[in-house]
Amino acid sequence: MLNNWLLAMAQNAEAVRKAQEELDYVVGSDRLPTWEDENNLLRLGGYFRWNLGILATNDTNIIHPVQSESCSHHGIRPFVPMSIPFVLIVGAGPSGLLLALLLGKRGIPVRLLEAADSLDDRPRAAHYSPPAVYELRRAGIIEDMEAEGSFLPNGACWRKLNGEFLAAVSSPGAKDANQTPLTCLPLNKLNVVLQRQIDQLPHVEILHSHKVTALSQDDTKAWVTVETPNGLQTLEAQYIVGCDGANSKIRRSLFGAREFPGFTWDKQIVATNVYILSFEKYGFDWDSNFIIHPEHWYMAARISNDGLWRVSYGEVAGLSFDELKARQPAKFKAFLPGSPDPGDYRVANFSPYKVHQRLAKKMRVGRFLLAADAAHLCNPFGGLGLSGGIVDVGGLYDCLAGIYTGQADDSILDIYCKDPETALEESEFLKTCKKAETDDAVAASQRKGLEALQYDFTRHYRK
């Protein structure tokens, strides 16, 4: 056995490097490992178990005959015992992938279930605001994002339909080292970066074509029923996180199919990714442009360094996909600078969306948690949807890692799920309202803020 072990290690310097990395991280350089470290040395444990012939495959790239077919197989396929992971994540969209990466890098066993057989390629998020970039940095993926073409936009401006510049907000970009900058990278590329890093982790298992259909829990664990290529299975964990998007099965099972408080706008939007030269040609020198117009409102943002723009525009609600597609050339001609014809651009992606403002009743029910779109939806024009989701994931990671390492108890998750009962103690806004009830100065300054909504048209009366 020892010979096998030495042979396998001698054949794979990368595996040795990773094992050393784990030892340095968990044990440090000033002592030897003890049995107490065993639970935290999951990668090394995985190698040993593989060596004993228990496991399917490992970082040594030597494949054992009982390799599991449904496991992710991109790149190196590490493996650790995954009978009952600490966390089971439902949904391998960006939020689920990021949570798996953060937990996996900490050595926490995670299983990720994804209904689809591949990653999502629709035109959705591209801009990540500073609090989200902070979490992406914590996950250690900024360099990989840069390699995929991420960049720091110079800011956003507002224009009239004829392109006339109105006002702008500049982004600190890379100029100010003290600020975390807004960053741009189309979601499909972010997903690839996340997946690639996860594939290097021995504690994370991704199962594609695994669709969750039901759930349950007791005092000690939570479990889900899953449709898999091999039939129905029940999979369990200490905690289960619903990162399963706007139609979350986890949320619907916890609260009811129609229970997602909020509303849906009576407009819809169409998001396109377009290769087009019009913007540069007509002096659109801000990376994000919001065009104000009652009918042809739209947003145009540069989302790559090779001429790809995101053009998202408002459309009449109720039109079918085919009707929207047929109207697209006329819409572009009506509102894009230079009134381009279809031969002047190439639409790489086209996707209509409904626009919602909704928030789940709670982010936690016992051992089930919700994050990102499964928990809340907002108008995508502000670039806040996934940014908020990423912030959920960063917070949830700290809570779950704290519980796993014994630094926090389960009640920390009640803070993740803020209770409306304690809103008055925790919300700065509500606290100010309360103060304003008895303090005239606070009330006056609060009114001033609200007055910003008003506009005095008499200013334009003839003198």
What is the binding site for ligand FAD (CB under 6 A)? 90-96, 113-116, 120, 124-128, 187, 211-212, 243-245, 249, 271, 312, 353, 372-374, 380, 383-387, 389
CB of 88 to ligand FAD, least distance (A): 11
Q: How far apart are alpha carbons 49 and 55 in whole angstroms?
A: 6
44 vs 311, which CB is nearer to ligand FAD?
311
CB of 124 to ligand FAD, least distance (A): 3
- What does the block give as tokens for 56? 């399917």
| Terminal C-alpha separation, the chain | 97
Beta strands in 324-386 (DSSP E): 345-359, 364-365, 368-370, 376-377
Q: How far apart are alpha carbons 206 and 243 in whole angstroms?
A: 14
CB of 126 to ligand FAD, least distance (A): 5
Q: List for the chain the helix, strand, coil content (%; round to 5).
A: 35, 25, 40
Q: Give the number of other CB atoms < 10 A from CB of residue 148.
A: 17
131 vs 283, which CB is nearer to ligand FAD?
131
Residue type, 429: F
CB of 389 to ligand FAD, least distance (A): 5
Contacts of 295 (CB under 8 A, 6+ apart): 314
> Do 103 and 205 contact (CB within 8 A), yes or no?
no
Residue whose Cβ sits closest to ligand FAD: 93
43 vs 367, which CB is nearer to ligand FAD?
367
109 vs 385, which CB is nearer to ligand FAD?
385
8 vs 215, which CB is nearer to ligand FAD?
215
12 vs 328, which CB is nearer to ligand FAD?
328
Burial of 454: CB neighbours in 10 Å, binned 0-12, 13-18, 19+: exposed
Burial of 101: CB neighbours in 10 Å, binned 0-12, 13-18, 19+: buried
Alpha-carbon distance values, 91 to 116, 372, 389, 462 (Å): 9, 11, 13, 61
Number of H-type helices and E-type strands within the chain: 15, 19
CB of 359 to ligand FAD, least distance (A): 13
116 vs 423, which CB is nearer to ligand FAD?
116
165 vs 353, which CB is nearer to ligand FAD?
353
Secondary structure of 193-233 as H, E, C letters: HHHHHHCCCCCEEEECCCEEEEEEECCCCEEEEEEECCEEE
CB of 207 to ligand FAD, least distance (A): 9
CB of 93 to ligand FAD, least distance (A): 2
CB of 118 to ligand FAD, least distance (A): 9
Half-sphere exposure of 115 (CA within 13 A, CB side): 14
CB of 337 to ligand FAD, least distance (A): 21
19 vs 241, which CB is nearer to ligand FAD?
241
